[in-house]
Structure 1
């Protein structure tokens, strides 16, 4: 079954103006030149020290960029970007007339004339649809007019389900969700699997926070990874410590329906996956899984 969820916790920031591409290129972790009317990307904005601040999807629509980001932090992101405008010809705004929806299920791309290529974009009704740039298995995201979005998707025989259902689906695939899983001013991209999920470009040149990101990769400094986990017992609180005996080996992030995301020390990960060691967080048993897309 192919279903859709209205993502009320997402918003759209607009970036227009003659210098919009060069402006974003010097700030974000991915290559803005990859964004065309036919291709979307996932990217992040970091601190100068290379720590996570925001992540977002970027599409091109009607001569401007649309940044799909956390609604609760949208205005904060806008203010942050404004600080870097200087004399650049860039217009920042909020798209009030569109809503973000997630569509997922087997064969979802066929409903929009899309393949399974991450980031592929197609026009759809009064907006656009694109394959999730992180992972094709995550389905399709759409930006549609608020008044017509639900009817547009129901007209092609898609069924609406709750945003919570989509969140459970996300957790099953081990995909991080913004500041619920990545700690602002602390998390780093490679621990959060941005390389595997197509969120960083190694060829684009300088951007804010690039030095730490590159050093972590090329010097082999990565000691932790974000992974999906199964939870036996009550779901631990956000940030709960994960223990192996008395040693802390990880930390919980978002959870739902017996599933979760955790930041785990790599030296314990394989033994925990095979059941050689037992992990516990707030009295619940935590069993990590290595997702199919992982190469660590």
Structure 2
């Protein structure tokens, strides 16, 4: 067993989705393919508005005949209510499952206590695993060095992986902007789901001009929500930060134009450079600033 690190993510909650129609119901609601979910794995997915904006981001894990959803704690009740609204006559039950808490594990393999459900983070292998711990278990039982949420988020930020509510506002960002297309959050071959037409159109027409990308500050970055500017003109918004590292939602075309003219990008008063995530299949205009 490698020397793993584990952090309890106290800002996450777990919902249970059970019933004869649970898989079919999730398949018709979410951006990813629930039909491919098998026990022991999970998917990264979103629930969208009819206009194609992300209302919730989540992980869905299969367990025997039901599903467990790992979602932001402050969105859990709202997600349950939204799913209930769409349930209609489906044989599905949705309820918060207080018997589970969520941990992130990286740099090694944990020991799973009885009743725990572990799965590889479906977004990116470098993020490691997520573990749904039964209420009676503690993070120390995973056999890892204890880390905290800030350590997990620092790793996530460094890798360039966004999180809803921290790096984009729910109800305001399209899946492409939040990198769902880059981080296994959307299946373009599956059938219909809420908001699917908009997402499909953005994919086929290449319409994603805004993307969340890693940024490096010349010094510690300011608060989340600070505008990113080029010569005083706003081209984006800073999301989550860890010291001088952060993520920002950027209009890449405007950043490219500004950098080509020799402009300096800033988050507040702090000069920043944009970084290319290793997983990204789109180009981030960073070289002009260091040229």
TM-score, normalised by the number of residues in structure 1: 0.89
Structure 1 segment 1-296 matched on structure 2, within 5 A: 1-105=3-107, 108-109=108-109, 111=110, 125-154=114-143, 158-269=144-255, 276-296=262-282
Residue 124 of structure 1 deviates from its aligned partner by 5.6
Aligned to 1:118: none
Q: Which moved more, 1:174-183 or 1:272-281?
A: 272-281
Alpha-carbon RMSD across the aligned residues, in angstroms, is 1.9
Q: 1:280–1:151: structure 2 CA closer, same or farther, 3 Å change rule?
A: closer
Distance 1:135 1:196 in 2: 9
Mapped to 2, the partners of 1:268 and 1:37 lie a distance apart of: 44
CA distance in 1, matches of 2:261, 2:244: 18
Write the distance in 1 (CA, Å) between the matches of 2:139 and 2:253. Answer: 46
Contact 1:132 1:140 in 2 (8 A): yes
Distance 1:48 1:169, change over 3 A: same
Is the Cα contact below 8 Å between 1:99 and 1:145 reproduced in 2?
A: yes
Secondary structure of 1:84's counterpart equals helix
Deviation of the 1:63 alpha carbon: 2.1
Residue 187 of structure 1, CA deviation: 0.3
Q: Secondary structure at the match of 1:144?
A: strand
Count, aligned residues: 280
Unaligned runs of 5+ in 1: 113-122
Cα displacement string for residues 89-117 of structure 1 (whole angstroms, at most 9, x for unaligned residues): 10111111121100012xx24x46xxxxx
2:43 and 2:61 in contact (8 A); partners too: yes
Give CA deviations for 1:105-163 in whole Å, capped at 9, x if unaligned. 2xx24x46xxxxxxxxxx76321111100000001111112322324213xxx110111
- Contact kept, 8 Å, 1:235 with 1:258, in 2: the verdict is yes
For structure 2, the residue ranges without an aligned partner over 5 or more in a row are 283-291
CA contact (8 A) 2:228 2:267 kept: yes
Contact in 2 for aligned 1:10/1:71 (Cα 8 Å): yes
Asked if 2 retains the 8 angstrom alpha-carbon contact of 1:34 and 1:40, the reply is: no
The answer as to whether partners of 1:50 and 1:210 remain within 8 angstroms in 2 is: yes
Distance 1:88 1:136, change over 3 A: same
Displacement after TM superposition at 1:268 (Å)? 4.5
| 4+ runs deviating over 6 angstroms | 271-275
CA distance in 1, matches of 2:122, 2:30: 15
Task: Give the distance between the partners of 1:268 and 1:262, measured in 2 at CA.
Answer: 14
Name the TM-score, length of structure 2 as normaliser: 0.91
Q: Please tell me whether the aligned partners of residues 21 and 33 of structure 1 are also in contact (alpha carbons under 8 angstroms).
A: yes
User: Aligned equivalents of 1:186 and 1:237: distance in 2?
Assistant: 19
Helix, strand or coil at the partner of 1:167: helix
Tell me the secondary structure at the aligned position of residue 62 of structure 2.
strand
